[in-house]
Structures are given as C-alpha cells and as structure tokens.
Amino acid sequence: MPRLRTPLLLGLIGSLVSTGAVAQEADSSMIQMLIQQNEELRERIEKLEAASSFTSAEPDALVPKNGLYVQADIGGQYRDLAGEDGDTATYFERGFYGSAGIGYRFSPNFRLSAEYANQSSDADKVSAEDAGGGVPYPGLGAITLNQYTINAYYDVPGFGYKKRIRPYVGVGVGTQKSSLIGISNSLASEFNLYAFGETWAPLVTFQAGASYIVNENTEIYAGGKYAHGSEMLFRGTAFGNLLPQSSRNWSVSGGVRYTF
C-alpha cells in the first residue's frame, strides 16, 4: 500500500500544479485583454474630445485690411423744402444720390476719406411772389448739389459668422456748390421767368450704416446720410436775389469699398 499511495500522491500534486499554471495563464490573458480594452477606450475618448473642441471652436474673425482704399455708392435722396428769404420757395421730388471717395484705413476701427457726392432734385412745386402771389404751382427745373467733404469713420467691432457684419458711424465737413437749373413754375414760365445760378456754401454730414466683409480687401455696405448746408445767396435771378436758409438732404445708398 505505501508504494501505491506514493504514485497517487505524486499524480495528485502534479495535477494541482498543472491546474494552477493554467489558472495563472488565464488570469494573465484576462489582465492583458483588460489593459488593451482600456487603451482603446482612452483613444476613443481622446478622439471624441478632439472632435468636440474642433466643432465648438469659433472661426477666426475676418477683419478688413489696413491701407489705401476706394469706394463708390449709389442710391436715392430727399431734399427738404428750400425756403428763401427772397421771392421763391421750392419743394422737391425725391432724387438721385451718388458718391465716390478715396480713403485710408488706419486700424480695424478707424478710417479717413475724401469724398465727392452728387445730389440732384427736380422741382415739385415752386411758389413765386412775382408770379402767383406766393402760391405753389407745379414746378419746373432742378437743383443740383455737388458736395466735397473730408470724413472720419468709426467701424464698430463685428458680429455674426466670422464677425463679418460691422456697423459704422461717420461725420464729414466740407463745402458744396448749388446750381439752379431753370427753376420756375407752370405760371411763371408763361412769362419766361426761369432762375439760373450757382453758389458755394459750407457743409456738414452725418452717416451711419453697416458693412459686410467679403474678404480682407472687399466690403459691401449700405447706410444713410444727413447733409446740412448753410444758407446760400443767388444774386440776380429772374426772381431777384434768392437766399435759401439751408439745404437739408436725407439719402440712402449702397456701395462697394476696395482696399489695395
């Protein structure tokens, strides 16, 4: 019996050792698999975080280029009643507005420009003491204003996608030439009374609007302007000396600005 027990004991010990080795190998494989899964999970989390930061990040703001620029715009305008301290008063139809200028942008927010503007208005009604006793009759002729100003603008920081939309305000000072072109009315014209003349007067303008940045060189813009000219004296017209108290024009226009 002792001889039989020894082989059985040795066999049992060997079986236990073998089972332990298998178990240890299984545990090692499981640990390696868990480590690998943990690495894959970490990589997925990092990719998701990177994608999230990419989609949530705001695009860089687009700003106009500094330097020399040219601009031009076109639109319409309305001129208020021109009341004279003389013999006539003129009421105007809505008319044409056009402007062109050259300027320099010193920073994203500040620029200066020299501008020319034309504001032309046909006469709607004209009253004349010499013909009609001051009663307004259908008007004839037109008055043209050629305006020359130096302007300063402030561009507000933009908003919207890439901050492309930028409101602006501006003020200008200069001078204007006012031209009377056959001003009369239906009654005075029967007596061959037409007013012609030219004169110059100081001018101030106020502007506001918004620009849209297409790229660093090009902007499109739309806005309004109020132009106020001082009194003007027209001497020796068919209606005598005419002294309009002031010119007051409101205009709306749109245009393009290009920076070199």
Q: Establish if 62 belongs to a structural domain.
A: no
Mean predicted confidence (pLDDT) in 158-172: 95
pLDDT at site 96: 96
pLDDT at site 1: 47
The separation between CA 104 and the C-alpha centre of its own chain, rounded to angstroms, equals 17
Q: Establish if 219 belongs to a structural domain.
A: yes
Mean predicted confidence (pLDDT) in 66-95: 87
Highest mean pLDDT among 93-102, 129-138, 243-252: 93-102
Q: Are residues 185 and 253 in the same domain?
A: yes
Q: Are residues 39 and 72 in the same domain?
A: no
Q: Are residues 235 and 136 in the same domain?
A: yes
pLDDT at 55 over 50: no
Contacts of 117 by beta carbon, 8 Å cutoff, 6+ apart: 97, 98, 99, 145, 146, 147, 149, 225, 227
Q: Are residues 197 and 87 in the same domain?
A: yes
Cβ atoms of residues 201 and 230 within 8 Å: yes
pLDDT at 78 over 60: yes
Q: Which of 83-92, 121-130, 239-248 has the lowest mean pLDDT?
A: 83-92
pLDDT at site 56: 47
pLDDT at site 124: 95
% of residues, the chain, pLDDT over 90? 59
What is the C-alpha separation between 229 and 84, in angstroms, rounded? Answer: 14
* Segments forming the whole domain that contains residue 99: 67-259
pLDDT at site 221: 98
What is the C-alpha separation between 21 and 26, in angstroms, rounded? Answer: 9
Q: Establish if 18 belongs to a structural domain.
A: yes
Contacts of 72 by beta carbon, 8 Å cutoff, 6+ apart: 98, 99, 100, 101, 255, 256
What is the C-alpha separation between 88 and 96, in angstroms, rounded? Answer: 23
Q: Establish if 255 belongs to a structural domain.
A: yes
Q: Establish if 179 belongs to a structural domain.
A: yes
Q: Residue 11 is encoded by which pair of tokens?
A: 């066999």
DSSP state string for 120-154 = EEEEEEEEETTBTTT--EEEEEEEEEEEEEEEEEE
Q: Are residues 165 and 45 in the same domain?
A: no
User: How far lies 228's CA from each of 11, 34, 208, 222, 240, in Å?
Assistant: 116, 81, 15, 20, 24
Q: Say how many domains are in the chain.
A: 2
pLDDT at site 239: 79
Report if pTM > 0.85: no
Mean predicted confidence (pLDDT) in 36-64: 72
CATH number of the domain at 208, please. 2.40.160.20
pLDDT at site 123: 94
**What's the burial of 218, exposed, middle or buried (CB within 10 Å: 0-12/13-18/19+)?**
middle
Average pLDDT of the residues of the chain = 85
Cβ atoms of residues 87 and 235 within 8 Å: no
